Amino acid sequence: MTARENAVLRARAMIVIGLVAIVVAVAWSARPHAETPAERVDRITSGLRCVVCQGLSVKDSPAESARQMRDLVVQRVAEGRSDREIVDEFRASYGDWVVLEPPLLSWSALVWLVPVAALLVGGAVAWRGMRTPPPQPPEAPPADVAALRERVAREEALDLPSTETP
Amino acid sequence: MPRWLRLVIVAGIAALVVVLALSFRRDPRDLRTGTVGKPAAAFALQRLDGSGELKLEPGGSKIVVLNFFASWCIPCKQENPTLVRVYERYRGSDVEFIGVLYQDSPDAGLKYVRDNGVTWPTVNDDQGRVAFSYGVFGIPETYFIGPDGVIAGRHIGPIDETTLVNGIEALRAKVRK
């Protein structure tokens, strides 16, 4: 094996090692792991609506109310409450509105269902449209066809440009 | 266009009109979501004047008007003369007023109370927990709690005398029945 072939082999080995390292790092970072309390607080507060903001989550809002809501979540997590219990505490005071993702088992489920229903109806209309052949133009009566042929023949005989009569 | 598709479109527009009509009929100051119609949360908070703790245990035979306020809140100042007048009218009766300081320092709250003639009990909700338990969106907010301990109504924004008196009298009439 020549020195050049050795160098190529080493370079390939380095590339393979690099790729394997990247795959291992990605897999390691994405591995399922036990959620820390801080991560749990972040997850819960990112699903709660800040009550004084315009569409911001508690996690993302700098408002004082959001800070106090976050503090309450931190305390409830430390007390060992479940996610559901924590969210339900806010829902009891503010209704489903306080949850950024509306629950499926209430009136707010319409938010999820209406787009799906609209998509299904639209799909059905499109499917029907594709299956139905385009309407054919009605056939001209034989008398009209004969008159037209006669006129074309006459104009060809006279070598006149074709004109349209109203 | 097929007949069934026309029907779907008409039904959709009709549903939209109904939803909008119902939404426009609702008073934005009278949100029904959350705590209205449910038992009021009990609490124990420090009084602003430093005279100890005030405990509210709803259902104690009195009508309670719970008002959330802060010294930095301009609409709270606007509604304050109304609260003072109506409080004087019901002083010593079966109606109890409680002011809850919201997102404010106790010193600023106490100064506000003294400067604006607030003589009913006022407490400091320093962590906002009581406000959350009542479903407060923003101040001023006023809650009407019946003698049965249930929140009968809430008013968002500065309250006027008619609304305040009507809220109290509606509860008193319910008690008399």
Residue pLDDT, tens place only, A49-67? 999 888 899 999 999 999 9
Q: Tell whether A121 lies on the interface with B, counting CB pairs under 8 A.
A: yes
Could you tell me which residues of chain B have a Cβ less than 8 Å from any Cβ in chain A?
2, 5, 8, 33-35, 38, 103, 127-129, 132-138
Chain B residues with CB-CB distance to A63 below 8 A: none
Span of A31-45, A101-115, B117-131, B162-176 with lowest mean pLDDT: A101-115
ipTM of the complex in this document: 0.76
Q: Which amino acid is at A113?
A: L
Where does residue B27 rank: exposed (0-12), middle (13-18), buried (19+ CB within 10 A)? exposed
| Residue A92 to residue B137, Cβ atoms within 8 A | no
Q: Tell whether A94 lies on the interface with B, counting CB pairs under 8 A.
A: yes
B151-156 and B63-69 as β-strands: parallel, antiparallel, unpaired?
Answer: unpaired
- Ranges of residues in chain A with a pLDDT under 70 are 105-108, 160-166
Considering only CA atoms, give the Rg of chain B.
20
Q: Tell whether A63 lies on the interface with B, counting CB pairs under 8 A.
A: no
The answer to whether A92 and B34 are in contact (CB under 8 A) is yes
**Given CA atoms B40, B41, B44, B49 in this order, what sign does their dihedral have?**
negative
Structure confidence at residue B90 (pLDDT): 96
State the nearest Cα–Cα gap between A140 and chain B, in angstroms: 26
Task: Tell me the range of A27-31, B4-8, B47-51 where mean pLDDT is highest.
Answer: B47-51
Phi, psi torsion values for A78, nearest 5 degrees: -65, -30
CA angle B155, A103, A31 (to 5 degrees): 130
State the nearest Cα–Cα gap between A51 and chain B, in angstroms: 6
Find the mean pLDDT for residues B95-121: 96
pLDDT: which is higher, B125 or A132: B125
User: Does the global pTM surpass 0.90?
Assistant: no
| Residue B5 to residue A125, Cβ atoms within 8 A | yes
Structure confidence at residue A4 (pLDDT): 83
Residue with tokens 């009891």: A92
| Residue B103 to residue A52, Cβ atoms within 8 A | no
- Tell me: pLDDT of B109 over 60: yes
In Å, how far are A148, B64, B166 from A52, measured between CA atoms? 77, 25, 28
B122-125 and B53-56 as β-strands: parallel, antiparallel, unpaired?
Answer: unpaired
CA angle A87, B140, B82 (to 5 degrees): 150
pLDDT: which is higher, A98 or B4: A98
CA dist., res. B20 & res. A137, Å (int): 44
**Cis ω before B140 (30° cut-off from 0):** yes
Phi, psi torsion values for B144, nearest 5 degrees: -105, 115
Each residue's pLDDT tens digit, B15-45 = 888 878 877 766 555 555 579 999 999 999 9
Structure confidence at residue B98 (pLDDT): 97
